[in-house]
Amino acid sequence: MIRRMAINPIPQFPSGFLWGVSTSAHQIEGAADQRETSVWDTFTAEPGRVKDGSTAEVACDHFHRYPEDVALLAGLGVDAYRFSVSWPRVNSPGGLDFYDRLVDELCAAGVRPVPTLFHWDLPARLEEKGGWLERDTASRFAEYVSVVAERLGDRVQKWITLNEPAEHTLFGHALGAHAPGKQLMFDALPAAHHQLLGHGLAVRALRAAGATDIGIANSHGPTWPASQEPADLEAAGFYDLLLNRLFADPILLGEYPDGLGELMPGDVEADLKVIAEPIDFYGVNYYSPTKVGAPQGADIEFGGLTIPAELPFSVQEIEDVPVTDFGWPVVPEGLTELLTAFQGRYADRLPPVVITENGCSYEGLDDQDRIAYLDGHVRALHRALEAGVDVRGYFVWSLLDNFEWAEGYARRFGLVHVDFETLTRTPKASYGWFRELLRAQRQQEQEGAGR
């Protein structure tokens, strides 16, 4: 029996504010036999790469069960659904037909489709040619984007180019914890540059196809120094440069932070003009702040990752805050801090912001901890609005429990529980909470319009 958590009224968000949920193709679609091999298929086939030894060959079987999942979206009452398009599937015969059907189903249900065009699942045959370490991959990405936009652009209005190039660079190319499993440390920087270049080329391709609402989904969070000692402040500043400014400054300011541009390949000045193509919104994926100090002289296990001793910083535990089942700190006020800091740093160069991911991993159907987490973060988002940040939308991660990358099926982020044996979907208490939140927001909006 799921008990209903009492809903304390959440302040009213502006009219037209976009409420949604997010997923990604590799994590939910399954049907691996109906697409090309991706870097994640290659990665998960290697023993020891995924903690429970699982793969996403079936995942949630969304490929076959998408009508059921769209019905869940409609029942939830969201305005929009952020999903990703699988590049390996588009490369396969009939692959785009699936997204045609999905978009049609969403439109018929009154749910706005918001595709992300790259969410870490690079075709393996491109990785064999160097992947994101090679400049040519950015051009191939733009070509693929043009194909998708030509097919879906008559129904899709809002587009996202890339998801979290910072994580794909750090975890996939620097530390080897994610596909493609490279451990290049700072030699991974070309992967960052080429993803950013791919973003800019994709913006141009989407504009050429008539798109007028384009953004990116970058992960960001406040960096908190472990102390006010000079060594900790320096380490925290470097971490913030690497994980936040490296991926925001080129897009929003048309420049790399001092010292990083000369580390990038090619004609960086010319590339930055492409990377800084104007966008219509800036997507932020927020989960938590990061406490950073000086190196500690040994490898550190943190959040399921090994932070090597040779890095010029250490990631440390934030004390005296709750943590999720994943061990991630729960700090809603960090979202307000992040957004107001972005507003201060980028000012009129910052377009309207959309929170493209925010969520948490907890077990159980009666997931009161998830409800408390989301409640706190929605309120923190409203405080950012009150502080003058132009925020236009909020997407929960995620609709469904899914394949959580190197964690396999051990972490559950969904508003809907998935039994990975039977694939049965069961809405959790948090699904009902979010549905009631959206109803209350719309009722307040209607009452305000009637005055």
Average pLDDT value for residue range 414-440: 98
Q: What is the pLDDT of residues 296-346, one digit of tens each?
A: 988 877 777 788 888 999 999 999 999 999 999 999 999 999 999 999 999
**DSSP assignments along 404-424, one per residue:** -GGGTTS----SEEE-TTT--
- Residue 164 maps to a domain: yes
Active-site annotation holds for 164:
yes
Over 70: is that where the pLDDT of 120 sits? yes
Cα(381)–Cα(437) distance, rounded to whole angstroms? 14
> Exposure string (b/e) for 197-214, b if CB count within 10 Å is 16 or more?
bbbbbbbbbbeebebeeb
User: So what's the pLDDT on residue 274?
Assistant: 98
Place of tokens 């009224």: 9
* Options 29, 167, 277, 357, the catalytic residue: 357
Give me the pLDDT at residue 448, please: 74
List, edge to edge, every strand of the sheet that includes 314-316.
223-225, 290-293, 314-316
Q: Contact 122/178 with Cβ under 8 angstroms?
A: no
Instruction: Report the range of poorest mean pLDDT among 272-281, 289-298, 352-361.
Output: 289-298
Percent of the chain with pLDDT over 70: 98
CATH, residue 325: 3.20.20.80
* Whether residue 277 has pLDDT greater than 60: yes
pLDDT value for 306: 82
| pLDDT value, residue 5 | 46
Instruction: Report d(CA 236, CA 244) in Å as an integer.
Output: 11
Give the per-residue pLDDT at 450.
Answer: 63
Residue with the bigger pLDDT between 277 and 448: it is 277
Q: Which of 29, 164, 337, 404 is catalytic?
A: 164
Tokens of 137: 């991959």
Kindly tell me if the per-residue pLDDT of 122 is higher than 70: yes
Q: For position 70, what pLDDT does the model report?
A: 99
Measured distance CA(271)–CA(275) in Å, rounded = 6
Those residues with Cβ within 8 angstroms of residue 442's Cβ, 6 or more apart along the chain or in another chain: 77
* Domain interval for residue 35: 18-450
pLDDT grade, residue 2 (50/70/90)? very low
- 5 domain residue, yes or no: no
Model confidence pLDDT, tens digit, residues 380-397 = 999 999 999 999 999 999
Is residue 4 in a domain? Answer: no
Is 76 a member of any domain?
Answer: yes
Specify if 220 maps to a domain. yes
What gap in Å lies between CA 224 and CA 77, rounded to an integer? 37
357 catalytically annotated: yes
- Number of domains observed in the structure of the chain: 1
Q: What is the pLDDT of residue 1?
A: 39
